[in-house]
């Protein structure tokens, strides 16, 4: 199996590459190692991947015309796993242009590369953010997603529409995965799980938005990778009146109250958090909850990592990576 992974030095991309390499795949990683968060962490992940003989790396940007297409043509992969994007809800309030360039223009370049090179299956990262202002819970793939709460969610919904159009026009088999709050070791330092764990270990305060009245469908990284691998070898097929395109939720199906999640981190750290309760942040969703029935029926997906175990592994990694007691 030959797989090109965009965002390979990112959190999910790193684990996806490791899993595929372990299974004997040849993998090319594509990433620009930008400084949205500390590139040192991305470089540390990349160093571990480069230790594999079957892994090679292309340092370039999605939005650069021809960059992705050149990488795909040179490698000749069967599959593309597109995980690179400008992430983060709050950053989109300050730097909206970055989201249009990376998530819209960049994704168009990925689609063009897959079309030109006749990729067997494109699996791409969408997000629970597409559900936006939807109040029906749990979120189902059949729910309307036309009321985004932030620009990040709007760009991810745009990706789904663009991929659908390419599947219809050119027959490019594509599957979008709506990830729900992915966490774990080697995680993004701009996301709440890593911020909370690191700050609590360091004895620094944590900001708790909406005064803690949030709930999230926290999904451990190994369960997310299991979903990616299952879906990758299950390309959607042409059906009567339907292009080869599909969408799946990837979550734990067990939303956790934010204060309960913090309590779990406190337990794993062996110390109490210094809590700073602040109002709801503009663009935030109050609750996420994934209906994973469709993915389970198609692939047998069953998330198995408890919050207690996942948080313990996250805290253990934070202690080791950041040298914290």
Could you give all domains of the chain from N- to C-terminal order, each with its CATH number? 2-181+220-250 (3.40.50.720), 183-216+254-288+300-322 (3.90.25.10)
Q: Is-catalytic flag, 152? A: yes
pLDDT in tens, 114-155: 999 999 999 999 999 999 999 999 999 999 999 999 999 999
Q: What is the pLDDT of residue 284?
A: 87
- Indicate the pairing of strand 245-250 with strand 174-179: parallel
Q: Virtual CA dihedral for 277, 278, 280, 282, nearest 10 degrees? A: -150
Residues shown for the chain? 325
> What residues of the chain score a pLDDT lower than 50?
none
CB atoms within 10 A of CB 99: 23
CA distances from 175 to 8, 103, 106, 123, 231 (A): 18, 16, 17, 5, 8
In contact, 60 and 109? CB cutoff 8 Å: no
Q: Is 28 helix (H, G, I), strand (E, B) or coil?
A: strand
Average pLDDT of every residue of the chain: 96
At 214, is the secondary structure helix, strand, or coil? coil
Q: Which tokens sit at 62?
A: 């999605």
Nearest to 4 by CA among 32, 31, 30, 42: 30
Q: Which of 14, 37, 131, 152 is catalytic?
A: 152
Q: Which residues lie closer than 8 Å to 190 by C-beta, 6 or more apart?
A: 36, 37, 87, 88, 91
Instruction: Report the sign of the C-alpha dihedral through residues 232, 17, 62, 252, in that order.
Output: positive
Instruction: Kindly state the tokens that stand for 165.
Output: 């159009």
N- to C-terminal Cα separation, the chain? 42
Over residues 80-116, the pLDDT tens digits come to 999 999 998 888 988 999 999 999 999 999 999 999 9
Pairing verdict, β 256-257 and 215-216:
antiparallel
């Amino acid at each position: 199996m030959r797989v090109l992974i965009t965002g390979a030095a990112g959190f999910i991309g790193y684990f996806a590459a490791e899993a595929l390499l372990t299974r004997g795949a040849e993998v090319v990683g594509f990433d620009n190692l930008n400084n949205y968060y500390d590139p040192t962490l991305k470089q540390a992940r990349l160093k571990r991947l480069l230790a594999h003989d079957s892994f090679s790396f292309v340092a370039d940007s999605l939005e650069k015309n021809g960059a992705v297409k050149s990488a795909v043509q040179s490698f000749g992969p069967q599959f593309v796993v597109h995980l690179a994007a400008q992430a983060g809800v709050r950053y989109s309030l300050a730097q909206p242009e970055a989201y249009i360039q990376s998530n819209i223009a960049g994704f168009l370049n990925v689609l063009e590369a897959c079309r030109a090179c006749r990729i067997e299956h494109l699996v791409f990262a969408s997000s629970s953010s597409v559900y936006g202002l939807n109040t029906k819970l749990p979120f189902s793939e059949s729910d309307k997603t036309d009321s985004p709460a932030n620009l990040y969610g709007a760009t991810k919904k745009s990706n789904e529409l663009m991929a659908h159009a390419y599947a219809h026009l050119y027959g490019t088999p594509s599957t979008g995965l709506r990830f729900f709050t992915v966490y774990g070791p080697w995680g993004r330092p701009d996301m709440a799980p890593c911020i909370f764990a690191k700050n609590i270990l360091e004895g620094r305060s944590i900001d708790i938005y909406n005064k803690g009245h949030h709930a999230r469908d926290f999904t451990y990284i190994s369960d997310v990778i299991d979903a990616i691998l299952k879906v990758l070898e299950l390309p959607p097929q042409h059906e009567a009146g339907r292009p080869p395109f599909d969408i799946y939720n990837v979550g734990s199906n067990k939303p956790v109250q934010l204060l309960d999640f913090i309590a779990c981190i406190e337990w794993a750290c062996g110390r109490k958090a210094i809590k700073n309760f602040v109002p709801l942040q503009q663009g935030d969703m109050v609750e996420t909850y994934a209906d994973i029935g469709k993915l389970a029926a198609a692939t047998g997906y069953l998330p198995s990592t408890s919050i207690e175990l996942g948080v313990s592994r996250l805290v253990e990694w934070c202690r080791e990576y950041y040298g914290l007691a």
